[in-house]
Structure 1
Amino acid sequence: MKHPHRIREIAERAGLSPATVDRVLHERGGVRESTVRRVHHAIAALNAQEPPYQPTITVDVVVPRPEPVRTALTAEPPPMIRPRFPHDLAAAGHAQGLILDAPDTPEVVEAVGRLDIPVVTLGRDLPSSKRVAHFGPDDVEAGATAAYLVEQWLADRAGDVLVVRGDRSDSGFRAEMRSRAPNRRLLTVALPEVRRALAANPSVRAVYSTTSGNAEVVEAFAAERRRYDVFVAHDLDDENAGLLRLGKLSAVLNHDLRSDLRNACRAVLRELGLLSGPLPETPAAVQVITPMNISA
């Protein structure tokens, strides 16, 4: 009887000596039929508890900020997936799949087209590429939510809004602000330009940030001896969580990164024929985190 188990394992399972099990397996005779059945039952039980073989699939993960993704994948390791984190897209592609967060440029789309592996976009989409699926927040919905929150805090008070740009699109925010407060001025700057913009614009009363490094924005206001009425940011990373707890941020718009990564890994496995079943077609809802509902 063929089996992958050691004689000692079978003996322990059957409650017999290794010598008796060896005699049964090699059909040497001299054992009772009931003993033979015990050995066969023990092997069947060991077979039943053996997990089915699962291949290990190497997936390259290319994202602007790998640490939150690495942390999420460590906290909830996806089955069959071994993630790698190459520095850029040029160094990727030697795996069996790719999870990518990159700008939608002709160069990136062309590079994706040259790959012979399943590509799933995470965060920023590449709709004209040959990616097999996309998961991430709806930036238009998130931006509109941010505009709603900013206007709720400012109410009828005058004041400009400082928009600190990053990788995320702010089109949803701008469209909703035009609808809600067409006369309110939006000043768009990069993170290094914040303090200079504050010095030149004393009417700034609100901040909407689509980038990381928001502690620098808070420090710029303090350096200029200025205050803001509302500050809305994206992504509940360690820095933003700390700023929320200190009351330096009014709200953080967050999405479930673990869910996005789980779905991205499933999409790769499904494309490789290792998984079946549908994938979600709608993005995860935007979560509004405030100092009142952030976990300890």
Structure 2
Amino acid sequence: MAHEFLVKDIAFQAGLSTATVDRVINGRGGVRRPTMARIEAAIDELRKQEKEAGLKGRTYVFDVIMEAPDRFTRAVREAFESQTGGFRPLTLRARFHFTEQMRDSDLSMLLTRIGQRGSDGVVLKAPDTPAIRQAVEAMTAAGVPVVTLVTDLPGSSRLAYAGADNRMAGETAAYLIGSRLAGQNVSALLTLSSNRFRGEEERESGFRAMVRDRYPDLGIVVISEGFGKDWTTGAQVRAALARAENIRAVYSIGGGNRSVVDAFLAAGHPLPVFVAHDLDEDNLALLRAEKLSYVLHHSLEADAAHALGTLIEAKGRFPKTKRPAHSALVIVTPFNIPA
């Protein structure tokens, strides 16, 4: 059956096989509802791109690739969409490829397909693994510049990094917790989504260094591989509380914060200090309810502008601009939430 878009274009946008897309378009069944929803969303995105393509001026198409929880990728999408109009007379379009969890081989394959199809640049949040580094090297060799977002791939051929100083963020979290609990001989729980991400590793390292230097009586308990999902993170927090009764603080490096609050409540454990990252919808609600003590926030809009500007400069269309090495970090409490 004829369709307004080619099956291969829909499959590329959705990150699915052409066979799966063909089955859905032709109504042959046997496809799960979430997969059908991904295809519908891909078609909507292609329609939007087609409409935007009619705008005047030189058009650049960038690919934003992220492995992160949905609540964070929604905020990232909004940030990039808010910035694409700031580079007139150029027209910028972004193709978004988001997933909560992806194997390195699948992510490498996605990068390869993007390189084959063509792209003016890639914004990437991905684990720091040999397979990903190799894929980035291949993209660079093919003339597709790569900017890392939120978590870096230092020493790789990526063009630049857009985001906060993650080690400094970890040090800040340790200061906020340590100064509140100094001398109490209690522990802080660090929750990572995965130890595969360089940014999370740097946050943990900064936290440990500050505790070692200034708060040696503060214990550290670490959980990881919850991937920022509520159900997995909650289960890990409950297990940690069963093992260590003196946990009185949480530094959430990887998200899933509603489940953290619920786990402490169910266990009857007090949580005097809770530090998290990013003003996503979950964290805003927890701040307003005073379930979070502090949120370490940096502007995703500034990160998006930094990434897009760097990629455009790489094309020689804009003069090079000196930008800060890292995004500014702001400490948000329940009483200074930005409008």
1:193 Cα deviation after fit: 1.0
Gaps of 5+ in 1: 1-51
Q: How does 1:29-40 map to 2 (within 5 A)?
A: none
From 84, 100, 103, the equivalent of 2:127 is: 103
Structure number with the higher helix fraction is 2
Q: What is the CA deviation profile of residues 4-61 of structure 1, one whole-angstrom value per residue up to 9, with x for unaligned ones?
A: xxxxxxxxxxxxxxxxxxxxxxxxxxxxxxxxxxxxxxxxxxxxxxxx9631111000
Cα distance between partner residues in 2 of 1:86 and 1:187:
33
Cα distance between partner residues in 2 of 1:285 and 1:184:
27
User: Is the 1:123–1:137 contact (alpha carbons within 8 Å) kept by the matching residues of 2?
Assistant: yes
1:183 Cα deviation after fit: 2.7
Q: What is the CA deviation profile of residues 244-296 of structure 1, one whole-angstrom value per residue up to 9, with x for unaligned ones?
A: 11010100001111111101101111111111122314212211000010135
Q: What is the CA deviation profile of residues 162-210 of structure 1, one whole-angstrom value per residue up to 9, with x for unaligned ones?
A: 1111242211011111111113210101323110110221111111110
Larger C-alpha radius of gyration, 1 or 2?
Answer: 1
- Name the structure 1 match of 2:180: 153
- Name the structure 2 match of 1:27: none
From 91, 94, 98, the equivalent of 1:83 is: 94
1:118 Cα deviation after fit: 1.0
Task: Find out whether 1:232 has 2:275 as its counterpart.
Answer: yes
> What percentage of residue pairs aligned between the two structures are identical?
39
- Name the structure 2 match of 1:69: 76
Cα distance between partner residues in 2 of 1:144 and 1:261:
25
Cα distance between partner residues in 1 of 2:264 and 2:126:
31
Letter in 2 for 1:188: V
Q: How does 1:151-230 map to 2 (within 5 A)?
A: 151-166=178-193, 167=197, 168-169=200-201, 170-190=204-224, 191=233, 192-230=235-273
Letter in 1 for 2:292: L
1:89 Cα deviation after fit: 4.7
Cα distance between partner residues in 2 of 1:53 and 1:260:
26
From 124, 128, 142, the equivalent of 2:151 is: 124
TM-score of the two chains, using structure 2 as the length reference: 0.69
- Name the structure 2 match of 1:45: none
Other structure's SS at 2:119 match: coil
User: Is the 1:263–1:279 contact (alpha carbons within 8 Å) kept by the matching residues of 2?
Assistant: no
Tell me: CA distance 1:89–1:68, structure 2 relative to 1, closer, same or farther (3 Å): farther
1:75 Cα deviation after fit: 2.8
Letter in 1 for 2:254: T
Cα distance between partner residues in 1 of 2:109 and 2:150:
19
- Name the structure 1 match of 2:289: 246
1:67 Cα deviation after fit: 1.5
Cα distance between partner residues in 1 of 2:187 and 2:156:
38
Gaps of 5+ in 2: 1-54, 99-106, 225-232
Q: What is the CA deviation profile of residues 218-260 of structure 1, one whole-angstrom value per residue up to 9, with x for unaligned ones?
A: 0000111111110101111110111011010100001111111
Cα distance between partner residues in 1 of 2:258 and 2:278:
14
Q: What is the CA deviation profile of residues 122-145 of structure 1, one whole-angstrom value per residue up to 9, with x for unaligned ones?
A: 111112221111111101110000
Letter in 2 for 1:108: I
1:71 Cα deviation after fit: 1.1
Cα distance between partner residues in 2 of 1:109 and 1:254:
28
Total equivalences in the alignment:
245
Root mean square deviation of aligned Cα: 1.7
Q: What is the CA deviation profile of residues 101-139 of structure 1, one whole-angstrom value per residue up to 9, with x for unaligned ones?
A: 112211111101111211111111112221111111101
